[in-house]
């Protein structure tokens, strides 16, 4: 993809790869963060949602250690304008609380 070609990106309920030895396979990973920064326009947003506790901790930790995106704490209710997904519905049925992050690409 060309540099700075996207206004917005979504990563909704990705596979959590919960085992520590599989962490390198998680989408939210330092190399992928750099690639998302490259393809998003300055000021563009990257929306991420997860209901898996291991992935929630991972996203909070990894995004807190980078300086390419503003990384506010996650919301625990789906923000306005986010589409519901079947994975979100499954999480609610099974008693899990999804986290919703909105990261903004820094210049």
Name the token pair of 32.
């992928």
Distance (Å, rounded) from C-alpha 85 to C-alpha 24? 25
How many alpha carbons fall within 13 Å on the CB side of residue 26? 25
DSSP readout, 45-96? EEEEEE--HHHHHHHHHHHHT-SSEE-PPPBSSPPTTPPP-HHHHHHHHTT-
With 0-12 CB in 10 A as exposed, 13-18 as middle and 19+ as buried, what is 16? buried
Q: Which residues are catalytic?
A: 15
């Amino acid at each position: 993809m060309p540099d700075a070609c996207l206004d917005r990106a979504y990563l909704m309920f990705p596979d959590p790869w919960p085992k520590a030895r599989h962490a390198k396979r998680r989408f939210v990973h330092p190399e992928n963060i750099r690639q998302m920064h490259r393809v998003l326009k300055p000021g563009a947003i990257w929306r991420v949602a997860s209901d898996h506790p291991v992935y929630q901790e991972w996203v909070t930790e990894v995004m807190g250690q980078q300086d390419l995106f503003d990384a506010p704490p996650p919301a625990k209710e789906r923000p306005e304008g986010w589409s519901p997904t079947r994975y979100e519905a499954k999480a609610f049925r099974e008693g899990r609380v999804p986290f919703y992050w909105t990261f903004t690409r820094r210049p």
